Chain A
Amino acid sequence: AQTVTQSQPEMSVQEAETVTLSCTYDTSESDYYLFWYKQPPSRQMILVIRQEAYKQQNATENRFSVNFQKAAKSFSLKISDSQLGDAAMYFCAYGTNWATDSWGKLQFGAGTQVVVTP
């Protein structure tokens, strides 16, 4: 079974600064997806970024980028130029390969609360 570990319950960052959230996972599969989701107080899950394991290039989405280290099973999220609107709970998630029947089913980490201070 896959497990996802987020060891930082809370991270604080000043506006315009950079913060990095860590995530490690365990799997025996070679092809899979990794995600970072944001959950603001509304509790709507918002996809921040997605990485496909077979791609060596790290995914980026505007101010958000990941450092994907497949051999180390590490998947960190960097938020650059932090904004007040970035304050939320961030979840790292693992998803199985799209070719499997269970694709779309996600295993989530415990989450990291990001606090942005002015």
Chain B
Amino acid sequence: GAVVSQHPSWVICKSGTSVKIECRSLDFQATTMFWYRQFPKQSLMLMATSNEGSKATYEQGVEKDKFLINHASLTLSTLTVTSAHPEDSSFYICSARAGTGTSSLRRQYFGPGTRLTVT
């Protein structure tokens, strides 16, 4: 089946620095990807929709200047957490949608997630 990878799987950074997380679709083209955030023992909350070749669409309450999303190719979306603070520590998960045509052919695939710890 389709595979989505994320890199890195775990990153520790110091407060005030920026960190980039990559989401790749390995065997299919994904013109649209989604970024979610998950705090411990909580649900996944959608942060933004990443569209190849255009600006990302952010959910209400998500700071665009803090969480920069770039979808530069059909297989890669990046999330950059700028000027990270301890409260940004979380698990970040991407998903990519695949398939065209009828409903039954359409799927979304999740990456394995990236654990961000800001010290």
Residues of A within 8 A of B (CB): 33, 42-45, 52, 91, 95, 97-98, 102-111
Given contacts A102-B49, A104-B108, 19 further A-B contacts (CB under 8 A): A33-B103, A43-B93, A43-B112, A44-B112, A44-B113, A45-B93, A45-B95, A98-B102, A98-B103, A98-B106, A103-B106, A104-B95, A104-B96, A104-B106, A106-B34, A107-B46, A109-B43, A110-B42, A111-B42
Q: Which residues of A contact B93 (CB under 8 A)?
A: 43, 45
Docked complex Cα distance between A103 and B102 (Å): 12
**9 shortest A-B CB distances, which residue pairs?**
A104-B97, A45-B110, A104-B108, A98-B103, A108-B43, A98-B106, A108-B44, A44-B112, A43-B113
Kindly identify which residue among A52, A97, A110 contacts B43, using a CB–CB cutoff of 8 Å. Answer: A110
Instruction: Flag whether B28 is at the interface (Cβ < 8 A).
Output: no
Could you tell me if A105 and B34 are in contact, using CB atoms closer than 8 angstroms? yes
Q: Does B58 contact A (CB under 8 A)?
A: no
Interface secondary structure of A, over-half rule: loop
- Residues on A with beta carbons closer than 8 Å to the beta carbon of B46: 105-107
The reply to whether A91 and B44 form a contact with Cβ atoms under 8 Å apart is: yes
Tell yes or no: B32 within 8 A of A by CB: yes
Q: Which of B44, B95, B97 has the most CB of A within 10 A?
A: B44
Inter-subunit contact B43/A106 (CB<8 Å): no
**Contacts of B27-76 to chain A: CB distance below 8 A:** 32, 34, 38, 42-46, 49
Of chain A, the residue at the smallest CB distance from B46 is: A105
Closest A residue to B106 by beta carbon equals A98
* Smallest CB separation, A100 vs chain B (Å): 11
Looking at the assembled complex, report how far the CB atom of A39 sits from the nearest CB atom of chain B, in whole angstroms.
9
Chain B residue numbers with a CB within 8 Å of A110 are 42-43
With both chains docked as a complex, state the minimum distance between the C-beta of A70 and any C-beta of chain B, in angstroms: 16
Contacts of B112 in A (CB 8 A): 42-44
Residues on A with C-beta less than 8 A from B108 are 95, 104, 106
Q: Once bound together, how far apart are the Cα atoms of A97 and B46, in whole Å?
A: 17
Q: How far is the CA of A45 from the CA of B111 in the complex (A)?
A: 8
Q: How far, in angstroms, from A42 to B45 measured CA to CA in the complex?
A: 18
Expressed in whole angstroms, the Cα–Cα distance for A95 and B34 within the complex equals: 13
Min CB distance A21 to B, Å, is: 14
